[in-house]
Amino acid sequence: MADVNQPQDFDLFTLREEHELLRESVRSLVETKIAPYAAAVDQEARYPQEAHDALHAADMHAIHIPEQYGGAGADALAACIVIEEVARACMSSSLIPAVNKLATVPLILAGSEELKQKYLRPVAEGRAMFSYALSEPDAGSDAGGMTTRAVRDGDGWRLNGVKRWITNAGVSEYYTVMAVTEPGIGTRGISAFVVEKSDEGFTFGAKEKKLGIKGSPTRELYFDDVWLPGDRIIGEPGTGFKTAMRTLDHTRVTIAAQALGVAQGALDYAADYVKQRKQFGKPIAELQGVQFMLADMGMKIAAARQLTYAAAAKSERNDPDLTFYGAAAKCFASDAAMEITTDAVQLLGGYGYTQDYPLERMMRDAKITQIYEGTNQIQRVVMARQLLKG
């Protein structure tokens, strides 16, 4: 594992030699141990165990966890590079490091030292995975409208409710769950908790049948009088929503990296194809219309990469304008990914529409990046509010 633990001294971002070595290492691992299974994972809608094992063996499944809790302590840019390179071949597999980060950042930001030691270490060591539970059937974009309740019970809490759209549910051992602890005061009455898969009264719904990322299970979580010890709360009561929003500021950058990866994978495949495919007696890569499409695809990826890496640098420093940059990176990169994967399918013509080629999968997978961790309409709301604040 490359050393990516040195202090940051960049204005926006600097790709050091260690980052480039990390990229080479991840790309090699992906090409040999993840890409060969990507199509089967999608077609069989099964968890990418091969990717899970490979990422764990290379210590890339949760690279962001600090060293004091057994992790690699990699910076935000390094975490983005890992997710980007995995998504380049298999979006479902890229959700292993992405969701481990999403669900553990609340502990890193607001958890007690005891909570961090107890739950970050098993994730860092590959003995457990973490999922994030914010959304509900009637509380998606309006996350503050959640109804899941946690009521004090002795020296602990009694949890009841339902969460929906939970990535890697059933596979993860631990769950960061947001619940209302003081009704009637809006988001100031929401708290965050750690729930364990083995907790009595905690069960899962059926796997969702999805358009894309079929290898990553998405299920509902059901809490029926689940009793949680008092030390399972993340931060102080009533701070959960603030922690959730701070978390998304950081982790929307990883969704941007995921979108960037699938877009790059689609462009790479399409560019190689058009050099081989002949029509009208010559490779279609020589046709100006095709070249213009490739140029636009490459331009959008270059812009998305610059914005994503700049946002990652701001995440590392916790800059005051991270909220804007995180939303902007996620929104721009995911919109670009949808356009680029669609154009890549077009460049392959009828072949692009078949499952014999990976581009239809990439196009289906790319769509979710415009939806989860806040729809791109919500990202625009977030950005506009930041601009209006000055």
User: Mind telling me the catalytic residues?
Assistant: 373
Phi-psi region of 199 (alpha: psi -120 to 50; beta: other; left: phi over 0): beta
Q: Is 77 helix (H, G, I), strand (E, B) or coil?
A: helix
Rounded Cα–Cα distance for residues 163 and 73 (Å): 30
Least Cα distance to 291 among 275, 306, 305, 304 occurs for 275
**Is the four-CA dihedral 290, 294, 297, 299 of positive or negative sign?**
negative
Under a CB-based contact definition with an 8 Å cutoff, are residues 329 and 253 in contact? Answer: yes
CB atoms within 10 A of CB 292: 10
The tokens 């959960």 sit on which residue? 240
Rounded Cα–Cα distance for residues 195 and 9 (Å): 38
**Is the four-CA dihedral 14, 32, 256, 326 of positive or negative sign?**
negative
φ, ψ for residue 267, nearest 5 deg = -65, -45
C-alpha distances (whole Å) from 158 to each of 20, 22, 102, 117, 120 are 48, 44, 24, 24, 24
Residue 246 CA, distance from chain mean position: 15
DSSP states of 188-224 as a string?
GGEEEEEEETTSTTEEE-PPP--SS-TTS-EEEEEEE
Determine the residue type at 89: A
Rounded Cα–Cα distance for residues 299 and 303 (Å): 6
Any idea what the Cα angle at residue 22 is, between residues 96 and 129, rounded to 5°? Answer: 20
Rounded Cα–Cα distance for residues 24 and 38 (Å): 19
Whole-angstrom distance between the N-terminal and C-terminal Cα of the chain?
Answer: 41
Determine the residue type at 340: I
